[in-house]
Structure 1
Amino acid sequence: MRVRVVLFTADLRVHDHPPLRAALDASDAVVPLFVRDTGIAANGFLVPNREAFLADCLRDLDAGLRQRGGRLVVRYGDVAEEVAKVVTETDACAVHLAGDVSAYARRREDRLRTALHGIGCEVVVHDAVVTCVPPGAVTPAARDHFAVFTPYHRQWARQHTRPVGRAPRAVTVPDGVGSEPVPERSSVPGVSPGLAEGGERAGRARLTAWLRSGIAAYEDRHDDMAGDATSRLSPDLHFGTVSPVEAVQRSRSAGGPGAEAFVRQLAWRDFHHQVLAARPAASHADYRTRHDQWRSERSARREIEAWRQGCTGYPVVDAAMRQLRHEGWMHNRGRLLAASFLTKTLYVDWRVGARHFLDLLVDGDISNNQMNWQWAAGTGTDSRPNRVLNPVTQGKRYDPDGAYVRRWVPELAGLSGSAVHEPWKLTGKDRAAYDYPDPLIELPDALDRFRQARGLR
């Protein structure tokens, strides 16, 4: 019997899955394998929200495979060692997996090749599974990647994407391959109470609902913080329960300005992957240094903790940070405001904020999280590195009636309209009626500090 292993990583689906399709086409049986990699846990990346969402995804993947006569094999340990064990047990001739760009993913691939070479097993890596366009497919003349999004997007939009593949009708798994139990969300402590359901069925339902009733208005409403008018597909894209290729093609089929704007956001995702593929150090070091002398975590400890808890005194920032803690997710405009506030208003190192986001975000993705934080801090690909987002102005613009703030900062629920964005303007008994902190810092003072630090004064 010809056997091949399909190693699932950030592609937890059966629809449009090139590694699974290729393995099925070339063999009599496959081993759909997921390794609960101890290396990821040791690096601190397996936090409760992602672990719980992952458990949902694995149970749903197992169910999808069982509907087709197969099952998911789960192992726990070092990924290279566990894959090698499965290969030896089944006499598999190849291991198929999706290509990825993080430094950890690339080390994992190298270690797999080393471990499997000695037992005569091939490693087959498939592109355009985690991203829509492979990271190295779009490059400028004489350079290995695009450092600016707009020219990247022009070329990206002209690329012909591969056809979307159907889910297989049947999956045959060799007898006797041992598996650990598929994990359950209920066994994970410390999960955000509003965390969404994970899994391919839930992800595909979100995508279909989005295409049917949300995408048409996306261009006009994507910054409407109270309206919650974004797709909320980022966790599904991170875990691969929704194919980015399918999302792009179905969005383009929907057509219209909203679809174009949404596809542009998916291009941003690919853009960040190609930056990190070319510059792996950008996950922890400035992509473009501004020679910042950030305030130390010790000296800014009080302000950092207030930011984490959503108690900065700036309501729209606090609302965003509380949404993050409750849902494990945050509106994109809120992410920009929270990141700008920490790095430019409080002048704290972007890595402090990036780590906190990774501790809570269910869609915590190294490429997008780190590069978006660098964009906000002005150390990344932003062509205007010294822009500072004013939380009051931004709050009034993107939450004009204050509904988003009142939803997440209930102690200000008694303030109507845009007045909720400036509670410090109340005086006497009116101010005392609201148990809400005063601003950590006056915005003009913060702006002056930032400009001096960047040598702009």
Structure 2
Amino acid sequence: MNVCVVLFTSDLRLHDHPPLRAALRAADEIVPLFVRDPAVDRAGFAAPNRLAFLADCLADLDRGLSERGGRLVVRTGATAAEVRAVARQAGADEVHMAAGCSAFAHDREDRLRRALEPDGRRLQVHDAVITAVPPGGITPQGSDHFAVFTPYFRRWTAEPLRTPLAAPRAVRVPPAVRSEELPARASVASVSAGLPTGGERAGRKRLTAWLSRHADAYADRHDDLAGDATSRLSPYLHFGAVSATEAVHRARARSGAGAEAFVRQLCWRDFHHQVLAARPEAAREDYRTRHDRWRHGEEAEADLQAWREGRTGYPVVDAAMRQLAHEGWMHNRGRLLAASFLTKTLYIDWREGARHFLRLLVDGDIANNQLNWQWVAGTGTDTRPGRVLNPVLQARRYDPEGAYVHRWVPELAGVPAPAVHEPWKLTGPERAALDYPDPLVSLADGLTRFRHARGRD
């Protein structure tokens, strides 16, 4: 009887899963396997919010397999050693898995391949599972990746995508292969109170509901901070509970400006993955150095801590940071404003911001988190590296009634718009009654400092 192992990583679903379907075609029985690798903890990926969401995803995956006659096998240890042990126990000839794009993922694949070869077992790595278009699937002439989004988007849009695969009807798992207990969300401490439920069912339900109710207005409303018209699918895409390929197909089937704008955002995700695959050092180092002399010392550390706590004195920035703490998620416009304020108004190293986001974001993703931070900081792929977002003007535009600020900064609940975006301008008893800090720095002074540091004055 032929047996294959399917190693799940960032692809925790049954629908549109090429490694799973390939294994089912090749074997009579399969071992659906997830390895809890301590190296993930050491690399800083195992933040509480993501561990809790992961527990939901694994429970849902196990439930889906059980409904088809199978089960999920969970092991703890070094991935290569655990996969090799399971393959030996099951008598499996092949191990199937999705290709990753980070240095960590590439190293994991190399270690696994070397571990399996002495036993005569093969590792089959499948592209276009985590992204819609695989990193390196399209390249410009003379380079291994696109460094600018617009030409990438043109090529990406013209690229034919594979047809999404249906979930399997039946899965047979060798009964002798043991499994540990699945991790439980309740066992994870320090989880954000508003963290959503993870798993493929929740993700597919969200995708279906959002496409039918909100996609048409997405082009006009995706920057509306209070309206919250974004899909909130990023955690499900990060864990692979929802297929990016299927999401593109389903959005394109609707047509219209809203669907096109949503597909463009999915393309941004693929863009960052292909940059990181080609330049893995960009997870730690400037993609394009500006020779920054980032602020350090006690004053900078105090400013950084105030930013983390949502006490900068700029309400829209503070609202975004408090949403992050409560939900483990932040509106995309809020991410841009919070990142611009830290890197350009406070002139603090983008790595500090990226590190804090990764501690809390349920969708914390090395490719998208690090490279979006670099884009905002001007050290990444932005063609206008000197742009600085003014949080007051942005708040007036994307939160004109102050509803987003009122929701997340209750100290300002009684202050109407537009004054709520500049509470430091209030005087007398109104200002004295507010338990809200003055700005850490004036926007003019912050801009002057940034331009001087970048050598633009």
Q: Fold conserved (TM > 0.5)?
A: yes
Distance in 2 of aligned mates of 1:212 and 1:295: 47
- Aligned 8 A contact 1:297 1:348 in 2: no
1:253 and 2:230 aligned? no
Give the partner amino acid of 2:318.
D
Distance in 2 of aligned mates of 1:104 and 1:229: 34
Distance in 2 of aligned mates of 1:126 and 1:136: 13
- Give the alignment of 1:397-436 within 5 angstroms: 397-436=397-436
> SS of the residue aligned with 1:372?
helix
Paired position in structure 2 for 1:44: 44
1:145 and 2:152 aligned? no
Aligned-pair CA distance for 1:432:
0.8
Distance in 1 of aligned mates of 2:236 and 2:212: 18
Identity of aligned residues (%): 68
Residue-by-residue CA offset, 1:18-65 (whole Å, 9 max, x unaligned): 000000011010000000111001222101000000000000000000
Distance in 2 of aligned mates of 1:255 and 1:184: 40
Residue-by-residue CA offset, 1:161-187 (whole Å, 9 max, x unaligned): 001100000000011111000111000
Residue-by-residue CA offset, 1:293-316 (whole Å, 9 max, x unaligned): 001264411100000000000000
Paired position in structure 2 for 1:343: 343
> SS of the residue aligned with 1:329?
coil
Paired position in structure 2 for 1:217: 217
- Aligned 8 A contact 1:48 1:189 in 2: yes
Paired position in structure 2 for 1:291: 291
Residue-by-residue CA offset, 1:51-90 (whole Å, 9 max, x unaligned): 0000000000000000000000000011111001001101
- Aligned 8 A contact 2:53 2:362 in 1: yes
Computed over aligned residues only, the root mean square deviation of the Cα atoms, in angstroms, reads: 0.6
Distance in 2 of aligned mates of 1:351 and 1:16: 35
Distance in 2 of aligned mates of 1:214 and 1:418: 28
Distance in 1 of aligned mates of 2:230 and 2:209: 12
Paired position in structure 1 for 2:27: 27
Q: Mind listing any 5+ residue stretches in structure 1 that lack a counterpart?
A: none
Aligned-pair CA distance for 1:333:
0.2
Distance in 2 of aligned mates of 1:290 and 1:218: 35
Distance in 1 of aligned mates of 2:297 and 2:131: 35
- Give the alignment of 1:57-206 within 5 angstroms: 57-206=57-206
Distance in 2 of aligned mates of 1:41 and 1:352: 19
Distance in 2 of aligned mates of 1:35 and 1:297: 41
Paired position in structure 2 for 1:311: 311
Give the partner amino acid of 2:70.
G
Distance in 2 of aligned mates of 1:413 and 1:142: 55
Q: How many residues in Structure 1 have an aligned counterpart in Structure 2?
A: 457
Distance in 2 of aligned mates of 1:285 and 1:164: 36
Distance in 1 of aligned mates of 2:142 and 2:314: 46
Paired position in structure 1 for 2:8: 8
Distance in 2 of aligned mates of 1:245 and 1:429: 56
> SS of the residue aligned with 1:435?
coil
> SS of the residue aligned with 1:417?
coil
Distance in 1 of aligned mates of 2:174 and 2:240: 25
Give the partner amino acid of 2:392.
V
Distance in 2 of aligned mates of 1:297 and 1:103: 31
Structure 1 consecutive aligned stretches of length 4 or more whose deviation exceeds 3 Å: none
Distance in 2 of aligned mates of 1:136 and 1:43: 25
Q: Mind listing any 5+ residue stretches in structure 2 that lack a counterpart?
A: none
State the TM-score, normalized to the length of structure 1. Answer: 0.99
Give the partner amino acid of 2:3.
V
Distance in 2 of aligned mates of 1:369 and 1:62: 29
Distance in 1 of aligned mates of 2:418 and 2:139: 45
Distance in 2 of aligned mates of 1:157 and 1:43: 34
> SS of the residue aligned with 2:174?
coil
State the TM-score, normalized to the length of structure 2. Answer: 0.99
> SS of the residue aligned with 1:161?
coil
> SS of the residue aligned with 1:300?
helix
